[in-house]
Structure 1
Amino acid sequence: VKAADTATKTVEEAMAVETAAREAELARLEQDRLQGMDEARLLAEIEAEEQAEYEDKRSQEAQTAAALKELIAAAEKALWETGDLALAATLGRKAATGLLEAKGAWTREAAQHALAGTDDDILSWVDLDRTLAQNQDDRETVLYIAQISSPAIAEAAQSALASSESAAVGDFLTSGMIRASQDDNKVQIARIINEKPGKAVIKAANDALDKNTPDALQDFFERTYPEAIREDDAVETATSVANGGEYVKSYGEVALEGPTWMRRNFVQVVRHQAAQLDHDSATHVAAVRGAIAAAAKIAYTAQQNAALASKAAADARQAAAEAKEWADKALDAASKAEGYADQARQNADAADRSAADAQTSANQAKSAASTARGAARSANYSANKAVDAARSALQSSYSAQASAASARQSALEAGRDKATAAAAASEARSIAVQKRRAEIAQKAKEAAEKAKREREEGRDPADNGTNDEVHPNGTGTGSGSEEDWWSDAGWWADAANKVSIASGFIAAGLGLASLAFPPLAAGAAFFGYVSLGAGALGALFTGIEHGFTSGAFVESLGGTALNLATFGRGKLVTTGIKKVAPVVNKVAEEGKELVSSITSGLSSIF
Structure 2
Amino acid sequence: AANEAADAAGEAVEYAKRSTAYAEAAVEAANTAADAVKEAQEVEAAARAAETARIAQDTELGVEEARLRAQAETDDAARADNQRTQADKTSTEIKDLIAAAETALRGGDTAKAVSEGRKAAVQLLNATGSWTREAAEFALSGADEDVVNWIDTDRLLAQRQDDRETVLTIAQAAKPAVAEAAHRALASEDADAAGDFLATGVIEAAATDNRVTVFSILNEDPGKAVKAKAEAALNDGSAMALHRFLNVELAEAVKQDDQVEIFRLLDSGGPYMKSAAQIVLEGSARMRRYFVARDKYNVARLDQDHATHVAAIRAAIAHAAKVAAQALADAALASKAAAEARQAASEATEWAEKAKGYATDASESAIEAKANADAADKSAADAARSAASAKQAASVARGAARTANYSMRQASASARQAVSYAADAQASAASARASAIEAGKDERAAAAAASEARSIVAAKRRAEAAEAARKAAEKAKQDEENGTNPSQNSDEDKPWYWDWELWPEDIGDPKQWATVTGHWSAIVGTAGVVLGVGALLFPPAAPALLAAAGAVGLVSWGLQGASALLHGIADNWQGSDFHSALGMFAVGGIFLGKGALLSKFGGVDDALRPVAEEVGSKISSVVGDSVTTVVGWLTW
Superposed CA deviations along residues 385-443 of structure 1, whole A, max 9, x for unmatched, are: 22111111111111111111111111111221121111111111111001111110111
Alpha-carbon distance in structure 1 between the residues aligned to 2:155 and 2:363: 92
Taking the TM superposition and a 5 Å limit, the aligned residue runs for 1:570-589 are none
Alpha-carbon distance in structure 1 between the residues aligned to 2:177 and 2:311: 57
Taking the TM superposition and a 5 Å limit, the aligned residue runs for 1:55-454 are 55-79=81-105, 81-454=106-479
- Paired residues of 1:383 and 1:474 also in contact (CA < 8 A): no
SS in structure 1 opposite 2:496?
coil
Superposed CA deviations along residues 462-491 of structure 1, whole A, max 9, x for unmatched, are: 223333323243799999xxx999896348
Residue 575 (structure 1) aligns with: none
Residue 2 (structure 1) aligns with: 28
Q: Write the letter of the residue equivalent to 1:319.
A: A
Superposed CA deviations along residues 494-543 of structure 1, whole A, max 9, x for unmatched, are: 999xxxxxxxxxxxxxxxxxxxxxxxxxxxxxxxxxxxxxxxxxxxxx99
Q: Is 2:42 aligned against 1:16?
A: yes
When residues 355 and 373 of structure 1 are mapped into structure 2, their CA distance, relative to the original with a 3 A threshold, is same
Q: Write the letter of the residue equivalent to 1:489.
A: I
Q: Write the letter of the residue equivalent to 1:49.
A: D
Residue 42 (structure 1) aligns with: 68
- Paired residues of 2:294 and 2:394 also in contact (CA < 8 A): yes
SS in structure 2 opposite 1:473?
helix
State the 1:112 CA deviation.
Answer: 0.9
When residues 352 and 328 of structure 1 are mapped into structure 2, their CA distance, relative to the original with a 3 A threshold, is same
When residues 268 and 494 of structure 1 are mapped into structure 2, their CA distance, relative to the original with a 3 A threshold, is farther
Alpha-carbon distance in structure 2 between the residues aligned to 1:167 and 1:50: 35
State the 1:196 CA deviation.
Answer: 0.8
State the 1:92 CA deviation.
Answer: 1.0
SS in structure 1 opposite 2:126?
coil
When residues 430 and 484 of structure 1 are mapped into structure 2, their CA distance, relative to the original with a 3 A threshold, is farther
When residues 140 and 490 of structure 1 are mapped into structure 2, their CA distance, relative to the original with a 3 A threshold, is farther
State the 1:493 CA deviation.
Answer: 6.4
Alpha-carbon distance in structure 1 between the residues aligned to 2:178 and 2:374: 56
What is the Cα-based RMSD across aligned positions, in Å? 2.7
Residue 523 (structure 2) aligns with: 489
Alpha-carbon distance in structure 2 between the residues aligned to 1:283 and 1:86: 83
- Paired residues of 1:388 and 1:473 also in contact (CA < 8 A): no
When residues 491 and 100 of structure 1 are mapped into structure 2, their CA distance, relative to the original with a 3 A threshold, is farther
Q: Is 2:76 aligned against 1:31?
A: no
Q: Write the letter of the residue equivalent to 2:253.
A: A
Q: Is 2:485 aligned against 1:460?
A: yes
Larger radius of gyration: 2
Alpha-carbon distance in structure 2 between the residues aligned to 1:253 and 1:355: 25
SS in structure 2 opposite 1:410?
helix
Alpha-carbon distance in structure 2 between the residues aligned to 1:32 and 1:78: 68
- Paired residues of 2:160 and 2:191 also in contact (CA < 8 A): no
State the 1:189 CA deviation.
Answer: 0.6
State the 1:101 CA deviation.
Answer: 0.6
Alpha-carbon distance in structure 2 between the residues aligned to 1:241 and 1:466: 39
Residue 533 (structure 1) aligns with: none
- Paired residues of 1:384 and 1:475 also in contact (CA < 8 A): no
Alpha-carbon distance in structure 1 between the residues aligned to 2:167 and 2:318: 71
- Paired residues of 1:391 and 1:485 also in contact (CA < 8 A): no
State the 1:458 CA deviation.
Answer: 1.8
When residues 293 and 486 of structure 1 are mapped into structure 2, their CA distance, relative to the original with a 3 A threshold, is closer
Alpha-carbon distance in structure 2 between the residues aligned to 1:296 and 1:488: 74
Residue 22 (structure 2) aligns with: none
Alpha-carbon distance in structure 2 between the residues aligned to 1:110 and 1:354: 67
State the 1:110 CA deviation.
Answer: 0.6
- Paired residues of 2:428 and 2:450 also in contact (CA < 8 A): yes
- Paired residues of 2:261 and 2:292 also in contact (CA < 8 A): yes
Structure having greater relative contact order (Cα 8 Å, sep ≥ 6): 1
Q: Write the letter of the residue equivalent to 1:47.
A: E
Alpha-carbon distance in structure 2 between the residues aligned to 1:491 and 1:356: 59
- Length-normalised TM-score, structure 1: 0.79
When residues 290 and 413 of structure 1 are mapped into structure 2, their CA distance, relative to the original with a 3 A threshold, is same
When residues 254 and 493 of structure 1 are mapped into structure 2, their CA distance, relative to the original with a 3 A threshold, is farther
Alpha-carbon distance in structure 1 between the residues aligned to 2:501 and 2:469: 17
- Paired residues of 1:386 and 1:474 also in contact (CA < 8 A): no
Q: Write the letter of the residue equivalent to 1:443.
A: A
State the 1:278 CA deviation.
Answer: 0.8
- Paired residues of 1:294 and 1:344 also in contact (CA < 8 A): yes
- Length-normalised TM-score, structure 2: 0.75
Alpha-carbon distance in structure 2 between the residues aligned to 1:378 and 1:304: 69
Alpha-carbon distance in structure 2 between the residues aligned to 1:145 and 1:544: 38
SS in structure 1 opposite 2:208?
helix
- Paired residues of 2:66 and 2:283 also in contact (CA < 8 A): yes
Structure showing the higher helix proportion among its residues? 2
SS in structure 1 opposite 2:125?
coil
State the 1:492 CA deviation.
Answer: 6.9
Identity fraction in percent: 52
Q: Write the letter of the residue equivalent to 1:31.
A: Q
Alpha-carbon distance in structure 2 between the residues aligned to 1:47 and 1:486: 29
Alpha-carbon distance in structure 2 between the residues aligned to 1:69 and 1:326: 104
Alpha-carbon distance in structure 1 between the residues aligned to 2:411 and 2:529: 15
State the 1:549 CA deviation.
Answer: 8.5
State the 1:381 CA deviation.
Answer: 2.1
- Paired residues of 2:311 and 2:376 also in contact (CA < 8 A): yes
In the alignment, structure 2 segments of 5+ residues that lack a partner are 1-26, 506-511, 531-554, 564-636
- Paired residues of 1:33 and 1:250 also in contact (CA < 8 A): yes
- Paired residues of 2:326 and 2:359 also in contact (CA < 8 A): yes
Superposed CA deviations along residues 267-300 of structure 1, whole A, max 9, x for unmatched, are: 1111111111111001001111111111111111
When residues 486 and 146 of structure 1 are mapped into structure 2, their CA distance, relative to the original with a 3 A threshold, is farther
Q: Is 2:505 aligned against 1:471?
A: no
- Paired residues of 1:200 and 1:232 also in contact (CA < 8 A): yes
Q: 251-260 or 461-470: which moved more? A: 461-470
Alpha-carbon distance in structure 2 between the residues aligned to 1:446 and 1:493: 36
The alignment of Structure 1 onto Structure 2 pairs a total of residues equal to 503
Alpha-carbon distance in structure 1 between the residues aligned to 2:126 and 2:193: 26
State the 1:166 CA deviation.
Answer: 2.0
Q: Write the letter of the residue equivalent to 2:232.
A: D
Alpha-carbon distance in structure 2 between the residues aligned to 1:495 and 1:459: 45
State the 1:265 CA deviation.
Answer: 1.1
